[in-house]
Amino acid sequence: MNRSVPLLFLNVFVVATCGLIYELLAGTLASYVLGDSVTQFSIIIGLYLFAMGVGSWLSRFVENDLAERFIDIELAVAILGGVSAPLLFFAFANVSFFSVVLYGMVFGIGALVGLEIPLLMRILKDELDFKELVARVLALDYVGALVASILFPIFLVPTLGLVRTSLVFGILNGIVGLWGTWLLTPLLKPGKIVFLRIKGVFVITLLVIGAIKADSLTVLAEESLFQETIIHAQSSRYQRIVVTRGRTGFSLFLNGNLQFSSFDEYRYHEALVHPAMIAFEGEPKRVLVLGGGDGLAVREILKYPSVEHVTLVDLDPAITSLATDLPVLAELNKRSLKDKRVTVVNSDAYVWLDRTDASGFDVAIIDFPDPNNFALGKLYSTRFYKMLRAKLRPDSTVGIQSTSPLYARNSYWCIVETLEASGFKVKPYQTTVPSFGIWGYVLAKGSEFERPKEIPAEIPLAFLDKDSMAGMFDFPVDTSRPDNELEINRLDNQALVRYYEAEWRRFE
């Protein structure tokens, strides 16, 4: 037994490291999916420490077979801690009582970890003086915590991610447990050793399988998606909204799809809004924005002093609220949605167009997410564009975001041809938005028209000028209208969703 004492101290160190890793995992994961990291970390640290206290107190009820109980507990921590991150991701996606699972998990792991140190101290008490014992065990415990807290953000999360970190430390924990069956052999009943080893091997095997399969676990999707720190996350009735911050600014994701990055969104929004505003003959007064709940397109529209009224129709009140309430976003959109010229309507644009009496808009800007599902696909259909036309004047102009003509060439040109089939004359154009790549738009009008040429001098722009705007209307060979015949996107065929799915699937 004496010989293995130093090794048992190594054991304390590993146990302490693993314990803190599980705590950090839970905290990160909770702030990750629930947002509000201060609250989440605070509650999880508090709950975890409390649970450790409960565990320590419970250790007094363990009277006999200390070594055996200790190994059992280590294996239990291994399995619970090891599956914690994948299980929590899964729970978040699939159950309504996620917080119960989260806090239950944190409490369970905390209590088990709390049992470990008192038991180990009792196992070692005959080998060392009390003062030596306390000094060494606690010192190693805290060193383990330090190592964990440094490794976690610098090495583990960036390279392994949450799910694999969780599984790897579970495996490590399991190995320590299994190793314990040798270190503590003298203290174990001979008949029990084999059984404990089988348990240990079983736990490790289970976690190794989990680690190998981790790639295919769909729960990993969100984790690997965001490379940057999440500063806001919420699930609205309609979608999952995540805002991240990185070195170049911040980004908004809806259902995991990038909507804009603050570093180059001005390129996207200037290109979306100004051609339509300029192509309108006369001074645009009444503007309709469909989608665009982030308020960034409205920011561009409000640069025109002639604009008297903007109606913005966006499905999700969570987005339009975020646009005014999230400081970084409100600053970026210059509080455009709070402007008294702006009316915000939260409705599905299709349903709104079908029912509204509003009409006579000079310019319409359409800024919907890409058509990656049927509910969005209807917003790019002939029926939709015909309803829109009925709300416009004969000389109104429309600017439409139309996905990438490079990544989704058929999809882009399907939108162009659907607009043509709906009675619009079109001028397709494209530009580069680094966050997105080559991006496509369509400028449309009810009657024949010329490309917009002059940009009014009083409109402050960071990206577009006369020459760059002229260049947008030329399509290089790899993005030009394809030779194959394209289907028109109608409600009863939703051809666009099918093109889009086929084309973007290549990049997944």
Partner 1 sequence: MFTRREILRAFLGLPVALAACKSSSRTNAIDGRIVGASNEIGHILRDRRKFEVPVDRWTDVDTVIVGGGIAGLSAAWSLKRKGFNDFLLLELEERAGGTSASGSSDLTAYPWGAHYLPVPFAQNTELVELLDEMRLIESKDEAGELIIPEQYLTRDPEERIYHKGRWYEGLYLYAGASEEDLRQYNAFYSEVGKWINWRDPEGRRAFTVPVSSCSTDAEVTALDKISFAQWLADKGFSSERLEWYCDYACRDDYGRTLSQTSAWAGLFYFCSRVPAAGEESQSFITFPEGNGRFVDHFVSRIKKNLQGSSLVAEVIPGEEGAEVVYIDTKTKQARGIRAKNVIYSAPMFTAGYLIRGFNDSPPFAAAEFRHNSWFVANLFLKERPKNRFERDFPLSWDNVLYESPSLGYVTATHQKGIDYGPTVLTYYYPMAEEDTRLGMQKLLSLDWKELSDICLADLERAHENIREATERIDIMRWGHAMISPKTGFIWGGEREKAMKPFRNIRFAHSDLSGIAIFEEAFHHGLRAASEIEKTG
Catalytic residues: 367
* Contact between residue 273 and residue 297 where contact means Cβ atoms under 8 Å apart: yes
- CA distance to 108, 434, 459, 506, per residue, from 479 (Å): 56, 17, 30, 17
Q: Collect all residues with Cβ–Cβ distance below 8 Å to 321 and sequence separation of at least 6.
A: none
* Positive/negative CA dihedral, 355, 356, 360, 366: negative
Residues 422-461 that bind partner 1 (CB under 8 A): none
Range list of H helices, 125-189: 130-151, 161-183
Of 27, 200, 377, 405, the residue at the interface with partner 1 (CB under 8 A) is 377
Amino acid at 200: G
The number of residues making up the chain comes to 508
Spell out where 213-282 has E strands.
229-235, 240-246, 249-254, 257-261
Task: For residues 465 and 270, give the distance between their C-alpha atoms in angstroms, rounded to a whole number.
Answer: 10
Q: Quick one: which segment of 194-202, 334-342, 490-498, 500-508 binds partner 1 (CB under 8 A)?
A: 490-498
Does position 155 interact with partner 1 (CB under 8 A)? The reply is: no
| Angle ∠(377,379,382) on CA atoms, nearest 5 | 95
Does position 383 interact with partner 1 (CB under 8 A)? The reply is: yes
Question: Least distance in Å: CB of 36 to partner 1?
Answer: 24
Of 129, 448, 465, 492, the residue at the interface with partner 1 (CB under 8 A) is 492
Of 22, 152, 266, 350, the residue at the interface with partner 1 (CB under 8 A) is 350
Does position 5 interact with partner 1 (CB under 8 A)? The reply is: no
Residues 73-132 that bind partner 1 (CB under 8 A): 93
Give how far the C-alpha of residue 119 lies from the chain's centroid of Cα atoms, to the nearest Å: 41
Question: Least distance in Å: CB of 254 to partner 1?
Answer: 14
Amino acid at 348: D
Does position 381 interact with partner 1 (CB under 8 A)? The reply is: yes
Q: Quick one: which segment of 37-45, 123-131, 166-174, 369-377 binds partner 1 (CB under 8 A)?
A: 369-377
Q: Quick one: which segment of 64-72, 105-113, 294-302, 368-376 binds partner 1 (CB under 8 A)?
A: 368-376
Question: Least distance in Å: CB of 423 to partner 1?
Answer: 13
Q: In sequence order, what are the beta bridge partners of 63?
A: none
Of residues 396, 457, 453, the one with CA closest to residue 278: 453
Does position 508 interact with partner 1 (CB under 8 A)? The reply is: no
Question: Least distance in Å: CB of 490 to partner 1?
Answer: 5
Encoded tokens for 466: 């006369």
Of 9, 41, 103, 238, the residue at the interface with partner 1 (CB under 8 A) is 238
Size of the site for partner 1 (CB under 8 A): 22
DSSP output for 85-121: HHHHHHHHHH-S-HHHHHHHHHHHHHHHHHHHHHHHH
* Contact between residue 309 and residue 341 where contact means Cβ atoms under 8 Å apart: yes
Of 99, 234, 373, 480, the residue at the interface with partner 1 (CB under 8 A) is 373
Does position 502 interact with partner 1 (CB under 8 A)? The reply is: no
| Nearest to partner 1 of 309, 490 (CB atom) | 490
Of 199, 232, 274, 378, the residue at the interface with partner 1 (CB under 8 A) is 378
Does position 418 interact with partner 1 (CB under 8 A)? The reply is: no
Task: For residues 367 and 412, give the distance between their C-alpha atoms in angstroms, rounded to a whole number.
Answer: 14
Of 207, 494, 499, 500, the residue at the interface with partner 1 (CB under 8 A) is 494
Question: Least distance in Å: CB of 350 to partner 1?
Answer: 4
| Nearest to partner 1 of 146, 375 (CB atom) | 375
DSSP output for 66-79: HHHHHHHHHHHHHH
Does position 315 interact with partner 1 (CB under 8 A)? The reply is: yes
Of 237, 340, 505, 506, the residue at the interface with partner 1 (CB under 8 A) is 237
Q: Quick one: which segment of 318-326, 334-342, 346-354, 358-366 binds partner 1 (CB under 8 A)?
A: 346-354
H helices then E strands: how many in the chain? 18, 11
Task: For residues 147 and 21, give the distance between their C-alpha atoms in angstroms, rounded to a whole number.
Answer: 10
Does position 248 interact with partner 1 (CB under 8 A)? The reply is: no
Of 348, 395, 487, 501, the residue at the interface with partner 1 (CB under 8 A) is 348
Encoded tokens for 336: 């455009």
Does position 374 interact with partner 1 (CB under 8 A)? The reply is: yes
Does position 490 interact with partner 1 (CB under 8 A)? The reply is: yes
Tell me the backbone φ, ψ of residue 270, rounded to 5 degrees.
Answer: -65, -45
Encoded tokens for 46: 């508090």
Q: Quick one: which segment of 200-208, 329-337, 349-357, 429-437 binds partner 1 (CB under 8 A)?
A: 349-357
Task: For residues 333 and 299, give the distance between their C-alpha atoms in angstroms, rounded to a whole number.
Answer: 6
The residue ranges that bind partner 1 (CB under 8 A) are: 93, 237-238, 315, 348, 350-351, 354, 373-375, 377-378, 381-383, 490-494, 497
